[in-house]
Structure 1
């Protein structure tokens, strides 16, 4: 499935967005600060939990324009990173107005360096202005990435991106699956092309879980460095992408992409990928 975008100007405040599938169609929008709420998936029996997984090569360092994206079970938000706390394992426990705690508080697929931090809150309690959400170690996960927006967009040039760092795609509903398919694996590709109109971001993610596969592709043009590009039915719970551009340091860039997709068996999954581009 492929999605395309149209760019809008944004308010620095976090906007509440709701997008019914019948209204979204194949259209799209862009935002620098968004929150969306969709129906949660049915509860499932959790497997046994273990500890944190993954690591970072360096602690994340906030820049002049820090940003975040957070994909929870029934909501998605992106905006200005007003607060962040990172532990010794590289896992984040505070992202903007959301905190993660518990005994234990488990984070999976930790990755990052000085320019970004990524992971998946797996078991613990998320607390924010909306209340508390308990992740009991089943399919319910919250995927996050924090990064620094670039100061300005170049007007020319094409970047080559690496194979990406991924959180494990997590089951969010649709067709019923067995516990072994609550989480899958992902791979993909990305590209960034700068031009007079801005930066064209493109991302494709292939996901596999329980022997079934699916693909989602998204592309769009950002005219401002703090924009997030929303494509397809992402805000309505259908297949779609959320793309952003970050500063990778030393002249490098980051393409950070949240995604939702439906596998061939009808099961829904979501996750986050970050690509280093230069």
Structure 2
């Protein structure tokens, strides 16, 4: 089943995610609703310049084993990738029943290859089963990644992961900041190994915005290819991570995928997604 979530007409979005609590793995069974305190809407910045940013080396090769993660302000959704549409720039305009349209419809930090597609919906209209939300170029971005699950987990082995692909962390609340700090930059690292318990995933993200910095780390087991591992207060709007394992573009390679929420030293909260290639 696909998790459902609400999209009100303002930035006060509700949280709905099918997953278990912190530090555990989950699949799509036993969906749970976790409320979250909405953030205070912020004034939109000046109209953004048109045009997507970033690129992909190859179009995403969708398959029956595809899954997705969509992380907006005070909402997150993950589940089977029932539908996906990718444009000529590599940006996605449809993800499992949610569409992104507009004139222009702007996507930032596009990245990916045949095994995944990632980006941040920045300006346009995001429409789901419960309604539409206008993203006007303020902090209300929606971060996404789509990927393919592995057919089976290897019995053993440790892999080295690259420097990762990141969307720009976007402000979601906490301390009051200026418009120039609505978005930041991110870097990090990931590790991946396999053993009798399945896959052991770990990720660290360093985020910086407005002259302040913060770090979030998470780790967890994935015993079933399509499951996810969550740490901290990811569902409740606090700091934490959702981690997933994906199939890489090259035989024998894998992806460590994560959505994260981090608080910077100045008390401002940010979120984003990251994908690491491991071989």
TM-score (norm 2): 0.89
List runs of 5+ in structure 2 lacking aligned partners: 6-14
Matched, 1:179 2:168: no
User: What is aligned with 1:7?
Assistant: none
1:159–1:181 Cα change, 3 Å: same
Q: What do you get for the CA RMSD once the two structures are aligned?
A: 1.7
Residue 241 of structure 2: aligned partner: 241
Q: CA deviation at 1:62?
A: 1.0
Alignment partners' CA distance in 2, 1:18 and 1:77: 7
Instruction: List aligned pairs for 1:4-83, cutoff 5 A.
Output: 12-14=1-3, 27-33=22-28, 38-48=36-46, 49-50=48-49, 51-83=51-83
Runs of 5+ consecutive residues of structure 1 not aligned to the other structure: 1-11
Moved more, 29-38 or 186-195: 29-38
Equivalences for 1:183-202 in 2 at 5 Å?
Answer: 183-202=183-202
Distance 2:16 2:128 in 1: 19
Give the structure, 1 or 2, with the largest relative contact order (CA under 8 Å, sep 6 or more): 1
| Deviation readout 1:2-50 (Å, 9 max, x if unpaired) | xxxxxxxxxx45378869xxxx7xx433223467553332222223302
The CA deviation at 1:231 is 1.0
Q: Is contact 2:70-2:145 (8 Å) kept?
A: yes
Contact 2:16/2:76 (8 A) holds in 1: no
Are residues 1:134 and 2:134 paired? yes
- Per-residue CA deviation, residues 69-122 of structure 1 (Å, 9 max, x unaligned), is 000112101100000000001000000010001111110000001110000000
Relative to the length of structure 1, the TM-score reads 0.90
Q: Which structure shows the bigger proportion of residues in strand conformation?
A: 1
Q: For the Cα contact (< 8 Å) 2:16–2:75, is it kept in 1?
A: no
Deviation at 1:254, TM superposition (A): 0.6
